[in-house]
Amino acid sequence: MKTLISEPEVNEAVCRMADEINGFYGDSPLTIVGVLTGSVVLLADLIRQMTMPLRVGVVQASSYRGATTRGPLVINSDLMPNIAKQDVLIVDDIFDTGHTMLELIDLMHKLAPISIRSAVLLQKTGQQQVELCPDFVGFEIPNEFVVGYGLDYQDQYRNLPYVAALESHDIGE
Ligand code: IMP
Ligand code: MG
């Protein structure tokens, strides 16, 4: 495993994202929807630097089945807060193909929010398969499988305070 983004670099990027989000929304109330499980670390760090009145809810989305390849996307919105007539900011760990974010936005649009925007710590360069860009991005990264700061490989490594790229010997290839 090799460190891709150090802990101080991650922290600095989260501060920058919070500044951008605070600047964008000003004092308007905001509903944050974190995407479980990968967003939990970013969510906790980001909301503590946000200055508008805010509510926090979660939705669960998973598309990995224990490996580094995608499976069918499953969304569980049982815990999602009421977002009707709210400005919504979806927070996720990483924007890869974009299918997860697109499906979440499609689902939430049906619930009549005022607006929906998205914030992700990482965006993989050149991997997008949808016509959608996240509104607030911490880092663009190359197409490597990364872990740490919420991101997992087979449910491990979410607790690392930095972002690391897995190497072939880490995934038994
Ligand atoms: P997308 O639907 O292809 O954009 O994938 C987004 C989801 O896949 C994220 O919410 C992550 O949970 C997961 N994911 C994508 N790339 C990685 C990675 O490099 N490491 C860990 N999880 C990833
Ligand atoms: Mg995820």
What domains are there in the chain, each with its CATH number?
A: 2-171 (3.40.50.2020)
To the query of whether residue 170 is one of the catalytic residues in this protein, the response is no
Query: Whose C-alpha lies nearest to ligand 1, atom 19?
Result: 145
Q: What's the pLDDT score for residue 71?
A: 77
- How many angstroms from the chain centroid is the CA of residue 70? 16
Q: What is the pLDDT of residues 55-91, one digit of tens each?
A: 999 999 988 655 667 778 999 999 999 999 999 999 9
Sheet with 115-124, edge to edge strand ranges: 70-76, 54-64, 30-36, 87-95, 115-124, 136-141
Q: Which of 96, 130, 147 to mutate to test the pocket of ligand 1 (most atoms within 8 A of CB)?
A: 96
Q: What's the pLDDT score for residue 102?
A: 97
d(CA 43, CA 36): 10
Query: Whose C-alpha lies nearest to ligand 1, atom 22?
Result: 151
Neighbours of ion ligand 2 (CB under 5 A): 38
Q: Give the residue ranges of the chain where pLDDT is below 70.
A: 64-68, 172-173
CB atoms within 10 A of CB 26: 9
Residues contacting ligand 1 via CB (< 6 Å): 35, 38, 63-64, 92-100, 145-147, 151
> Closest ligand 1 atom, CA of 62?
12
Q: What's the pLDDT score for residue 63?
A: 82
Which member of 92, 96, 106, 155 is catalytic? 96
